[in-house]
């Protein structure tokens, strides 16, 4: 075939490719991470844990000092887990016969602790000002 008769390579469409419905649905995430608010609670709890570790041994978390729970949330959910799912990998609960901690209970306990702290703060502010907060 002469050079003139060679077919030009197909051009890729510049239209944005839509993610597979499975990816768009968030079904690649474990059930407790499919809701945005649950994701926030998880990452707030994770960063509270980092702060607790920092109190005991700051060297263990020094590389995490520049990251906050919002950045970790965005990176983990919107980038890492989504890209892994796009390539066929999902995060799933281990089937190992181990007595694991209950993550839902841990996050609920953390939320109760946060709520109590906010209520105490509000009560103190109300006592100082004499007006409801």
What are the average pLDDT values for consecutive 10-residue runs of the chain, which has 133 residues? 55 60 83 88 86 84 80 86 84 83 90 91 88 74
pLDDT recorded at residue 12: 53
Q: Are residues 54 and 84 in the same domain?
A: yes
* Continuous H helices in 16-102: 21-25, 36-56, 69-73, 82-86
pLDDT recorded at residue 1: 53
Distance CA 32, CA 103 (A): 9
What are the strands, taking DSSP E only, across the chain? none
**Domains: count for the chain:** 2
Residue 73 lies in a domain: yes
Domain extent, residue 129, equals 102-133
Q: Secondary structure of 102-116 in the HEC alphabet?
A: CHHHHHHHHHHHHHH
Q: Are 92 and 29 in contact (CB under 8 A)?
A: no
Q: How many CA atoms lie within 13 A of 116 on its CB side?
A: 6
Distance CA 40, CA 30 (A): 14
Q: Are residues 40 and 85 in the same domain?
A: yes
Q: Are residues 78 and 112 in the same domain?
A: no
Q: Are residues 45 and 81 in the same domain?
A: yes
């Amino acid at each position: 075939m002469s050079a003139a008769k060679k077919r030009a390579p197909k051009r890729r469409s510049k239209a944005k490719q839509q993610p597979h419905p499975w990816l768009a649905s968030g079904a690649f995430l474990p059930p407790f991470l499919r809701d945005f608010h649950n994701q926030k609670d998880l990452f707030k709890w994770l960063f509270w844990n980092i702060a607790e570790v920092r109190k005991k041994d700051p060297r263990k978390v020094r590389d995490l000092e520049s990251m906050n729970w919002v950045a970790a949330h965005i990176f983990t959910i919107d980038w890492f887990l989504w890209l892994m799912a796009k390539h066929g990998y999902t995060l799933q609960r281990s089937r190992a016969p181990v007595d694991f901690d209950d993550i839902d209970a841990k996050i609920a306990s953390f939320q109760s602790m946060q709520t109590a702290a906010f209520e105490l703060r509000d009560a103190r502010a109300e006592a100082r000002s004499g007006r409801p907060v």
